[in-house]
Amino acid sequence: MFKRLDEAQRQTQSAPVRVTVNGAELQCRQGDSVAAALFAGGVQACRDTAVNEVPRGPYCMMGVCYDCLVTIDGQANQQGCMTAVREGMKIERQLGARKVQA
């Protein structure tokens, strides 16, 4: 559905940023948001809903819909569309409702 333009693909290869997505390495372009990097890497769903565990993926790409929530470096509920990728970042699909900590 989504793919990088040729120029963007060349930029990815010239100065890549490497992140881990659900345990697999993904090469991204510096300046990409997490959500854009996931789309470019073929990842369609960022999270599953708390009710019925329906897969959800980025929708608005501007911080309004919250469908791009992911766990980043162990921190749940991070908006993928509002967070820039950085080298070594660990991104995980968020499953269900967040855990409440006492």
**Considering the entire predicted model, what is its pTM?**
0.83
pLDDT score recorded for residue 10: 75
80 and 35 in contact (C-beta within 8 Å)?
yes
Return d(Cα 92, Cα 86) in angstroms, integer: 14
What is d(CA 69, CA 75) in angstroms, rounded to the nearest whole number?
10
- Residuewise pLDDT in 10s, the chain (102 residues): 677 778 777 776 777 899 999 999 999 998 899 999 999 899 999 999 888 889 999 999 999 999 999 999 999 999 999 999 999 999 999 987 766 667
The 8-class DSSP code of residue 84 comes to: B
